[in-house]
Amino acid sequence: MQIEAEKRALLRWVLIVVSLLLAGSVILTGWMFRRYSLAEDLIRNADEQKVFAENQLRQVSRELAEKKAILERSAAAVAQRNAVIDSIVPKMMAKTAGDEELAELARAINETPQQVIELPGIPPDKVLRRYRSRVDGQPRAYVLLAGEIDGKWRLYSVLVKK
């Protein structure tokens, strides 16, 4: 009988140990599944963020290209305007510029941000008057005015009729 009792006690201990191992394996499996599902969510979120960032990159690149094109057009217009001013001012100072050239000069000066340029000397009196020109088919009238500020002569262009 004693052997039977010892066998039962041993089987009871084996059953307890196996039950504890089974419960531990269930808990471990649940913990591993939780980590797996969290990792899957992290991967899905990272993929969504990647797609969002790529879309933003495309949009920003497109906007950058548009801004660069606008900037290049603006730089070309400024270069052309400065070329007109640089070529006509010496003619104006030498009193050899025609009315069309002076009208173009008035338009170019008016398109500058301050609507004024500095002159190397006193401008001729016959230059300081009203000029008419067409810009994109629209008639415009400009008046050239000169003034001495801080010892420097400046030529202003005022748009009087649009």
Radius of gyration, CA atoms only, the chain = 43
Q: Which helix (H) or strand (E) holds 158?
A: strand 152-161
Residue pair 155/119 in contact (Cβ under 8 Å)? The answer is: yes
Domain that holds residue 106: 2-161
Domains held by the chain: number: 1
The pLDDT value recorded for residue 43 is: 87
Number of Cβ atoms within 10 Å of the Cβ of 58:
10
Does the pTM surpass 0.75? The reply is no
Going by pLDDT thresholds of 50, 70 and 90, the confidence category of residue 36 is confident
Q: Give CA–CA dist 103/144, Å, rounded.
A: 9
pLDDT in tens, 72-110: 999 999 999 999 999 999 999 998 888 899 999 999 999
Q: Give CA–CA dist 133/142, Å, rounded.
A: 8
CB crowding 13-25: b at 16 or more within 10 Å, else e: eeeeeeeeeeeee
Mean pLDDT for the chain?
91
